[in-house]
Amino acid sequence: MRVPQSFYNFTRQIYQGVLDDLVPPDSFVSIYESFLGQYGMASVLELDSYFEALLRTKDTDLGELWWQESKADYIFDHNAVRMLATDYRKWVAALDD
């Protein structure tokens, strides 16, 4: 599966948010909102589709994928990436409400 540009942009946004202490300890919502503002709804939805596909594949090591493909120097393990992707997808779903 090809990694979309939105994933690279998002990982860069995550890294910048962590460096700038923009991320509250229990939420990445401020980064999601910043990603939406900077890259637009098309990128948000593209990343949502990509995360959906990744979460369907139980055998994929998401931590390894993050390490190999991310534009961020911040490392997440498999469970943290799965949690982040799940949280992001919930945020996107709430945008429709």
pLDDT in tens, 10-48: 988 887 766 566 566 556 888 899 899 999 999 999 999
pTM of the model: 0.84
Integer Cα distance of 55 and 57 in angstroms: 5
pLDDT for the residue numbered 21: 63
Do residues 35 and 13 lie in contact, with contact meaning Cβ atoms separated by under 8 Å?
A: yes
Overall average pLDDT of the 66-83 stretch = 78
> Which residues touch 89 (CB under 8 Å, ≥6 apart)?
48, 51, 52, 55
Query: Can you state the percent helix, strand and coil of the chain, rounding each to 5?
Result: 70, 0, 30
Do residues 7 and 20 lie in contact, with contact meaning Cβ atoms separated by under 8 Å?
A: no
* Cα separation of the two ends of the chain: 30
